[in-house]
Amino acid sequence: MSNVPNNNPSTPDTTAAVNTATGKLALGWALVGVPLAYGVYETLTRVAALFS
């Protein structure tokens, strides 16, 4: 695939769609990953307290 700009108006430029999809994917992972990481951290600290 070449890096030549798309000068043909009949074929759509998918750069904006890819950037939007990447942003939504990152937001989705953040919405799931941050609470998951917090839950794992809390679990590990409570387990450590239980066995110490």
Whole-number pLDDT of residue 37 = 98
User: Does the structure show a pLDDT above 70 at 12?
Assistant: no
Virtual torsion, Cα 27, 28, 31, 35, nearest 10 deg: -130
pTM of the predicted model as reported, rounded to 2 decimal places: 0.58
Half-sphere exposure of 51 (CA within 13 A, CB side): 5
13 Cβ neighbours under 8 A, 6+ residues apart: 6
Asked whether the beta carbons of 13 and 6 are under 8 A apart, the reply is: yes
Per-residue pLDDT of 13-30, as tens digits, reads 666 666 788 999 999 999
